[in-house]
Amino acid sequence: MNEGVKTENDHINLKVAGQDGSVVQFKIKRHTPLSKLMKAYCERQGLSIRQIRFRFDGQPINETDTPAQ
């Protein structure tokens, strides 16, 4: 058994599209809380996490959500 071996399936590529048309791509683990991505995006864009809303297909995304959900 290869329990310590990680496959490419452990990660997922996500794109965050801003209202201004900018796109930032992230590669995170499927079970990593999206709060990590949200904070990284805000730091990169110079925004406060309180200033913006994250949505997927029109539905709000919570900081505790993960890509696997």
Q: How many domains are contained in the chain?
A: 1
What pTM was computed for the model?
0.80
Q: Where are the alpha helices (DSSP H) in 1-69?
A: 35-45
3 falls within a domain: no
20: exposed, middle or buried (C-beta count within 10 Å: 0-12, 13-18, 19+)? exposed
69 falls within a domain: no
Over 50: is that where the pLDDT of 1 sits? Answer: no
31 falls within a domain: yes
23 falls within a domain: yes
Residue 24 has which token pair? 């930032």
CATH number where 26 lies:
3.10.20.90
Band of residue 7 on the pLDDT scale cut at 50, 70, 90: low
- State the residue range of the domain holding 22: 8-60
65 falls within a domain: no
15 falls within a domain: yes
Residue 22 has which token pair? 């900018």
2 falls within a domain: no
The secondary structure element, H or E, covering residue 16 is strand 11-17
In angstroms, the CA 69 to CA 44 distance is 25
